[in-house]
């Protein structure tokens, strides 16, 4: 009997392997564009998007259309349901998926709250129509009913939740809202106890099980739905639909989630990835080779994890994203990630990060940067400082050298190769001088009147108002010349640089950073600074369109910011204490805000003042109250 145990074990292992093979074999071929009978195809644009209106003829199903993706060996079907919301130039699409089981079906997401006629072409009626007919169009006897699950909380995926009040709706536990309806049930990977009652971890449809997979970052509770037997994963927006909006959360969280998904789906060689904006598979850069509009796949998931890792270790060179000045993006092979430089990890970045400001590899337009023709990089430092690198034909200029954390010199060499580098220090702040020893600079320009130790191997050149720094020619063959203009207030030796060819102002700390809370730290009186600013503007106004400060993480600040700095200073002078609030960052002082509180808002914290009881500043919109690591601006529509 004992001697037969190995044989029995091998027989069982063989049976299990056969069962596993049979389970994989049950995954039916997937067809992405097999239009369901009775539905209309959307009209595609040459750019890969969807036309406005989305349908060439009146659509009896309102704003929806449906594609039958697969029918497995058990006769269970999977559909892709598209919902199109008219936009300004095209129809934004949100995608839902319907998984049919033997006893129940699951609708993943409810898309956007587009108009419909209840009982005729509303979402519930569409789902019942699909489940109530065979693939040939005949009425199906005893069709199954359905339940609903959301991938995340954004309105373009939960828009018709209110129509589903008569059935269970599974909602991600970490996205749970206040006053959730009674029919909502928390769901998370593995299930278990939670703050909103017991959460489930899987949904049994009858001979077909859908499991929750945590994919947090796009929202705190973003959840995927995995059908292991049929090798399908509905991901919502958690991993994007060709590119992901990861800027709502930390990249460290996104990296962990992406790797978790890659590990979870490793056994499934024929995995079908089901994203929530299917039309984006063939839009923007993905319409061109080598993607050619190919739907995202298992390799895309791996590539997403690779991009996240490259952001964390600083090897990715990002570019400005076309929506929201606080968002950048970058990609590797089939994947791209949108992220914010102030949301890398909860403790700040762990490596220097570079953003290429010209010569973009992506075709997404940034009209604000069209005049920049120099080889120009924004570098975000480990102490949340911002450094700038401009490369001319014969040498490069680093504007500021950071706080001195290791890695800057290596990054600069990677960006400019053997091109000689010079450095300009714009003030006596530590984050202007800290990295000088890493750079092997040929010249170091320092403000006149400022005393600092010599830098080994570098010529020290004192510069001041009216001087220039000449880098030769830019990529268009135009002179790359920086004019120096002094501006005191924050520092007694503060300087700014104007690149008139690219129409860019590098203001260092002289204007502070663009925020309504703690922008400029003023070490002089408001009266003196207001006078100095007016004199400085007489020399520089009209010569720049964009402002780059020593602290802002955004890829541009509009020239209107300078007007708001002047406005804040003038208010402080004219209104005195009546215009002042207790400062937020740094705390304990008094500050004055500009009249505007939008993306050009300015604030001035006056050193030597003292906070007073009851003098706290009111919260403001936009960047107000975010602090250095608060969330980036959240542009609409959500993806």
Mean pLDDT of 499-503: 94
Q: Which pLDDT band holds residue 476 (cuts at 50, 70, 90)?
A: confident
Of residues 370, 360, 373, the one with CA closest to residue 478: 373
Tokens of residue 163, six digits: 């129509």
Residues 6+ apart with CB under 8 A from 487: 494, 495, 496, 507, 510, 511, 532, 533, 536
Q: Is the pLDDT of residue 616 over 50?
A: yes
* Integer angstrom CA distances of residue 504 from 38, 355, 384, 533, 551: 56, 16, 21, 18, 16
pLDDT tens-digit series, residues 149-195: 999 999 999 999 999 999 999 999 999 999 999 999 999 999 999 99
CB 38 within 8 A of CB 137: yes
Sequence-distant (≥ 6) Cβ neighbours of residue 370 within 8 angstroms:
none
pTM given for the model: 0.91
Q: How far apart are CA 96 and CA 94, in angstroms?
A: 7
Q: Are 26 and 72 in contact (CB under 8 A)?
A: yes
> What is the pLDDT, as a whole number, of residue 26?
54
The pLDDT value given to residue 484: 98
Q: Is 287 in contact with 259 (CB distance < 8 Å)?
A: no
Q: Contact at 8 Å (CB) between 348 and 476?
A: no
Distances (CA, A) of 220 to 118, 152, 156, 172, 477: 33, 8, 17, 9, 48
Residues 331, 242: Cα–Cα separation, whole Å: 10
- Nearest Cα neighbor of 62 from 119, 139, 130, 17 is 119
Could you tell me if 498 and 505 are in contact, meaning their C-beta atoms sit under 8 angstroms apart?
yes
Neighbouring residues of 88: CB distance < 8 A, sequence distance ≥ 6: none
pLDDT higher than 70, residue 70: yes
In contact, 61 and 40? CB cutoff 8 Å:
yes
Q: Quick check: helix, strand or coil at residue 262?
A: helix
- Cα(412)–Cα(192) distance, rounded to whole angstroms? 49
3 state DSSP class of 124:
helix
Instruction: Give the pLDDT confidence of 369-405 residue by residue, as tens digits.
Output: 999 999 999 999 999 999 999 999 889 999 999 999 9
Calculate mean pLDDT across residues 523-537.
98
In the sheet that holds 396-399, the strands lie side by side as 244-245, 335-339, 328-332, 317-320, 353-356, 375-380, 386-391, 396-399, 421-424, 443-447, 459-463
- pLDDT over 60 at 12, yes or no: no
d(CA 246, CA 17): 39
Give residue 633's pLDDT band: very low, low, confident or very high (50, 70, 90): very low
Q: In DSSP terms, which residues pair with 590 in a beta bridge?
A: 582, 606
Give the residue among 95, 99, 88, 37 at the shortest CA–CA distance from 64: 95
pLDDT bracket for residue 4 (50, 70, 90): very low
The three-class DSSP label of residue 344 is coil
Residue 387 sits at φ, ψ, to 5 deg, of -120, 155
Residues with Cβ within 8 Å of 4's Cβ and at least 6 positions away in sequence, in order, are none
Cis peptide leading into residue 637 (ω within 30°):
yes
Residue 284 pLDDT = 73
Q: Residue 145 pLDDT more than 90?
A: yes
**pLDDT the model gives residue 285:** 79
Task: Retrieve residue 447's tokens.
Answer: 């403000």
Q: What is the C-alpha to C-alpha distance for residues 543 and 56, in angstroms, rounded to an integer?
A: 49
Token digits of residue 468: 């220039």
Query: Tokens 């590797």 map to which residue?
Result: 332
pLDDT category at 3 given cuts 50, 70, 90 is very low
Question: What pLDDT is recorded for position 23?
Answer: 43
- Is there a contact between 629 and 317 (Cβ–Cβ < 8 Å)? no
Q: Tell me what pLDDT residue 25 has.
A: 53
Task: Give burial (CB, 10 Å; 0-12/13-18/19+) of 500.
Answer: middle
Q: Which residues contact 86 (CB under 8 A, 6 or more apart)?
A: 52, 53, 54
Kindly write down the DSSP assignment for every residue of 290-322, as one continuous string: TTTTPPP-HHHHHHHHHHHHHHHHT--EEEE-S
Q: Which of 472, 466, 456, 552 is nearest to 511 (CA)?
A: 552
Residues 327-370 pLDDT 10s: 999 999 999 999 999 999 999 999 999 999 998 877 677 888 99
144 vs 184: CA distance, rounded Å: 20
Q: What average pLDDT is seen over the chain?
A: 91
- Who's near 430: CB < 8 A, 6+ residues apart? 403, 404
Phi and psi dihedrals of 456, rounded to 5? -55, 125
Residue 609's nearest CA partner among 536, 521, 547 is 521
Element containing residue 275 per DSSP (H, E): strand 272-275
């Amino acid at each position: 009997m004992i001697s037969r145990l190995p044989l029995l074990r091998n027989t069982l292992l063989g049976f299990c392997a056969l069962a596993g093979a049979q389970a994989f074999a049950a995954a039916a071929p997937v067809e992405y564009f097999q239009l369901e009978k009775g539905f209309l195809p959307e009209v595609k644009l040459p750019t890969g998007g969807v036309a406005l209106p989305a349908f060439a003829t009146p659509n009896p199903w309102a704003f929806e259309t449906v594609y039958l993706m697969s029918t497995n060996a058990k006769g269970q079907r999977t559909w892709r349901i598209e919902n199109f919301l008219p936009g300004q130039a095209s129809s934004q699409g949100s995608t839902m998926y319907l998984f049919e089981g033997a006893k129940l079906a699951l609708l993943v997401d409810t898309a956007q709250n587009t108009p419909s006629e209840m009982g005729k072409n509303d979402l519930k009626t569409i789902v019942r129509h699909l489940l109530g007919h065979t693939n040939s169009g005949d009425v199906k006897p005893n069709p199954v009913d359905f339940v609903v699950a959301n991938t995340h909380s954004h309105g373009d995926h939960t828009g018709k939740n209110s129509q589903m009040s008569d059935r269970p709706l599974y909602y991600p536990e970490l996205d749970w809202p206040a006053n959730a309806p009674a029919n909502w049930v928390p769901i998370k990977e593995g299930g278990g106890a939670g703050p909103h009652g017991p959460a489930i971890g899987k949904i049994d449809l009858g001979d077909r099980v859908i499991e929750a997979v945590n994919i947090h970052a796009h929202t705190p509770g973003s959840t995927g739905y995995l059908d292991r037997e049929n090798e399908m994963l509905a991901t919502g927006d958690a991993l994007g639909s060709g590119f992901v909006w990861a800027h709502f959360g930390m990249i460290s969280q996104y990296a962990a989630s992406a790797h978790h998904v890659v590990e979870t789906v490793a056994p499934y060689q024929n995995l079908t990835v089901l994203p929530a904006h299917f039309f984006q598979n063939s839009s923007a850069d993905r319409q061109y080779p080598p993607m050619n509009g190919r739907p995202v796949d298992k390799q895309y998931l791996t590539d997403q994890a690779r991009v996240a890792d490259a952001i964390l270790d600083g090897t990715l060179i990002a570019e400005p994203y076309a929506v929201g000045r606080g968002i950048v993006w970058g990609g590797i092979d089939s994947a791209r990630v949108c992220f914010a430089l102030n949301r890398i990890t909860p403790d700040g970045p762990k490596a220097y990060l570079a953003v290429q400001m010209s010569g973009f590899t992506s075709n997404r337009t940034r009209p604000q940067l069209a005049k920049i023709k120099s080889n120009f990089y924004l570098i975000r430092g480990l102490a949340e400082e911002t450094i700038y690198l401009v490369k001319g034909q014969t040498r490069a200029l680093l504007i500021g050298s950071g706080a001195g954390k290791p890695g800057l010199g290596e990054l600069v060499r990677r960006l400019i190769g053997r091109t000689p580098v010079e450095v300009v220090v714009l003030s006596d702040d530590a984050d202007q001088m800290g990295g000088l020893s890493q750079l092997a600079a040929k010249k170091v320009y320092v403000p006149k009147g400022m005393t600092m130790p010599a830098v080994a191997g570098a010529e020290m050149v004192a510069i001041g108002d009216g001087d220039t720094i000449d880098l030769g020619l830019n990529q268009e063959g135009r002179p790359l010349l920086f004019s120096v203009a002094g501006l005191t207030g924050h520092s007694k030796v503060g300087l700014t640089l104007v690149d008139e060819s690219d129409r860019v102002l590098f203001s260092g700390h002289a204007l502070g950073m663009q925020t309504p809370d703690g922008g400029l730290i003023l070490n002089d009186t408001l009266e003196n600074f207001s006078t100095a600013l007016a004199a400085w503007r007489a020399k520089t106004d009209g010569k720049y369109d964009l402002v780059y400060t020593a602290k802002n993480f955004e890829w541009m600040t509009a020239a209107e910011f300078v007007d708001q700095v002047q406005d804040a200073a003038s208010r402080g002078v004219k209104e005195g204490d009546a215009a002042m609030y207790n400062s937020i960052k740094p705390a304990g002082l008094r500050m004055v805000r500009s009249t505007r509180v939008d993306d050009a808002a300015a604030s001035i914290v006056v050193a030597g003042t003292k906070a007073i009881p009851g003098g706290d500043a009111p919260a403001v919109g936009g960047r107000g109250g975010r602090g250095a690591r608060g969330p980036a601006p959240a542009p609409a529509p959500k993806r």
